[in-house]
Amino acid sequence: MDTMKILTVILLVCFFALMIGVGFYTRKHATDVNGFVLGGRGVGPWLTAFAFGTSYFSAVIFVGYAGQFGWNFGMSSTWAGLGNAFIGSLMAWNVLGRRTRVMTQHYDAKTMPDFFGKRFDSKALKIAASVIVFIFLIPYTASLYNGLSSLFGLVFDIPYWVVILVMAVLTGVYVIFGGYMATAINDFIQGIIMLFGIAAVIFAVVGANGGLVEATKSLSAITGDAGWQGAYTAFLGPDPLALLFVVVLTSLGTWGLPQMVGKFYAIKSENDIHKGTVISTFFAIVVAGGCYFLGGFGRLYADAGIKYNAATGKPLYDTIVPAMLSTLPDVIIAVVIVLVLSASMSTLSSLVLTSSSTFTLDVIKPLSKKEMSDKKTVFIMRIFIVFFIAISAAIAVFKDANPSVTFIAQMMGVSWGALAGAFLAPFLYALYSKKVTKTATAVCFVWGCAIAILQMVISLAGISVAGWGTVLSYIFKSSINSGVVAMVGGLVIVPIVSAFTKKPEASNVDAAFAAYNRTIVVKAKDSLNYDAVEEVEK
């Protein structure tokens, strides 16, 4: 144990020193609003791709989701990881990347609420979107600390609040100093740690169970809750429909999350988008696919330290992965501690930067009676970074000290569905169609938030939905199901409402879409479309 502590301390000290060093190094990029929020819109493919991936995958996926979905679906939970890679990353970059970059630059929009406000010429939509971000990103941010306690407990005998405080302070330091560039560079470093860490853990866990074939044989012999042998090694697992809902929520949901879409605002060039797409997809295959694949073997550790709910008999999902890790060599555990801390800090930095910039640029600045200089605006954003980090840390500590208070846990569960349900459809359609209306966007905001809040009320009040009919009872069975309905429903609602409501001003929309058609001459090494190049030259 002493060896493990020494290894972990050495790795953590090096990790923290590097993170803070990057913050100081990049402070020259954070002198104005554009630099602080978007890195001057000149961020390359590697940094952008890793920033996208590390914002996507936090400690929640490694400790919580890997344990939960791996326990429920077995090896088929790997489909969730592949969905994250090919829908949440590959398709997201191809469908949203280029158009987001072009249109947001045309409007000079720095946040998602700012985009809605300028795209639909509506201050009300801008403020409404800002409020939604403010309300639902805070509990989402607080959830990032989940799982840290059990993992640090494998090595250190220290209070949970100390872990939270250290993570919060160090993240705050480098984000406050360096803004987006500090976040992007540290995300790249943290992403490298996550890639090697996940690979090391998978090989160690599978090897400890006799190799892949033997581990799969052992898992196939378990009947568990499914009631039939081989359920947890089956191609689609014991519950394919539930698995489908998980894949859709965790994959398609990224298309509507402001902290994810914001990465496309900052990328440098067309060529960088192509590279970023490949890098981001590879990263997601390894990290998300690896995490869910690893979690699929959780039932092999049913008697190896997993804690169970005394009332229901179900496992406490956050204890499954730590139980798996507790059997591994000291050096692997030390690497995992840094891995999970990296995953948490990278996502935390992205969320607080998104929250602070949104609240400052879309609420505080428009309400200010005096013109705010860039220097003052950046200063206010830094103040709100401190505020959001402090609030999220306080919520996490309070939740840990009062496990009986379920309100916070429920808010965390519905945050993803609320944000994606409200924003995904109007943002996607606004990039591709001139016919999307302000009213349709507002209706979708209400729809996404209403579904999420109703789900929270049902869960908190313990309302039985059994008598609501087959469809409704399944929808509100969990925040996963209702979140998917919120997103898919928005994709249907927006075009229907747009067809019957007042169309946007043609001048505003035409100018934005004209930005897509600007003629840009490129070198032959960057494009093989010689006919198009020759036509431009003529």
Same domain assignment for residues 442 and 349: no
Q: State the pLDDT confidence band at 113, using cuts at 50, 70 and 90.
A: very high
Same domain assignment for residues 263 and 392: yes
Q: How high is the pLDDT of residue 146?
A: 67
Report CA 351 to chain centroid distance, whole Å. Answer: 9
Which of 24-38, 145-159, 172-186, 496-510 comes out lowest in average pLDDT? 145-159
Same domain assignment for residues 445 and 397: no
Report CA 459 to chain centroid distance, whole Å. Answer: 23
Residue 9 forms part of a structural domain: yes
Q: How high is the pLDDT of residue 408?
A: 58
Same domain assignment for residues 398 and 425: no
The pTM (predicted TM-score) of the whole model is 0.87
Q: How high is the pLDDT of residue 59?
A: 72
Structure-block tokens of residue 87: 């829908």
Phi-psi region of 140 (alpha: psi -120 to 50; beta: other; left: phi over 0): alpha
Domain count, the chain: 2
Q: How high is the pLDDT of residue 536?
A: 47
Same domain assignment for residues 213 and 74: yes
Residue 522 forms part of a structural domain: no
Say how many CA atoms lie within 13 Å of 344 toward its Cβ.
Answer: 34
Residue 526 forms part of a structural domain: no
Which of 362, 381, 403 terminates a domain? The answer is: 403
DSSP string for 358-426: HHIIIIIHHH-SSPPPHHHHHHHHHHHHHHHHHHHHHHHHHHHH-TT--HHHHHHHHHHHHHHHHHHHH
Q: What is the CATH number of the domain that holds 375?
A: 1.20.1730.10
Q: State the pLDDT confidence band at 217, using cuts at 50, 70 and 90.
A: very high
Which of 337, 372, 403 terminates a domain? The answer is: 403
The whole domain housing 436 covers 404-504
Mean pLDDT along residues 13-34: 83
Residue 529 forms part of a structural domain: no
Residue 538 forms part of a structural domain: no
Q: Kind and range of the H or E element at 27? A: none
Same domain assignment for residues 323 and 375: yes
Same domain assignment for residues 223 and 282: yes
d(CA 201, CA 193): 12
Q: How high is the pLDDT of residue 535?
A: 46
The per-residue pLDDT for range 339-394, each reduced to its tens digit, is: 888 888 888 888 888 888 888 888 888 877 788 888 888 899 999 999 988 988 88
Helix (H), strand (E), coil (C) string for 428-488 = HHHHHCCCCCHHHHHHHHHHHHHHHHHHHHHHHHCCCCHHHCHHHHHHCCCHHHHHHHHHH
d(CA 297, CA 76): 11
Residue 509 forms part of a structural domain: no
Q: How high is the pLDDT of residue 232?
A: 93
Count of CB atoms within 10 A of residue 195's CB?
18
d(CA 459, CA 508): 43
Residue 333 forms part of a structural domain: yes
Residue 206 forms part of a structural domain: yes
Q: How far apart are the first and last CA of the chain?
A: 73
Same domain assignment for residues 428 and 362: no
Which of 403, 438, 468 terminates a domain? The answer is: 403
In percent, the amount of the chain with pLDDT more than 70 equals: 92
Q: Kind and range of the H or E element at 278? A: helix 270-284
Which of 181-190, 399-408, 424-433 comes out lowest in average pLDDT? 399-408
d(CA 518, CA 509): 15
Contacts (Cβ under 8 Å, ≥6 apart) of 309: 315, 316
Mean pLDDT along residues 140-146: 77
Same domain assignment for residues 297 and 445: no
d(CA 252, CA 91): 9
Mean pLDDT along residues 467-479: 87
Same domain assignment for residues 414 and 399: no
The per-residue pLDDT for range 248-282, each reduced to its tens digit, is: 999 998 999 998 888 888 787 767 888 889 999 99
Same domain assignment for residues 181 and 214: yes
C-alpha closest to that of 259 among 131, 141, 84, 176: 141
Same domain assignment for residues 359 and 490: no
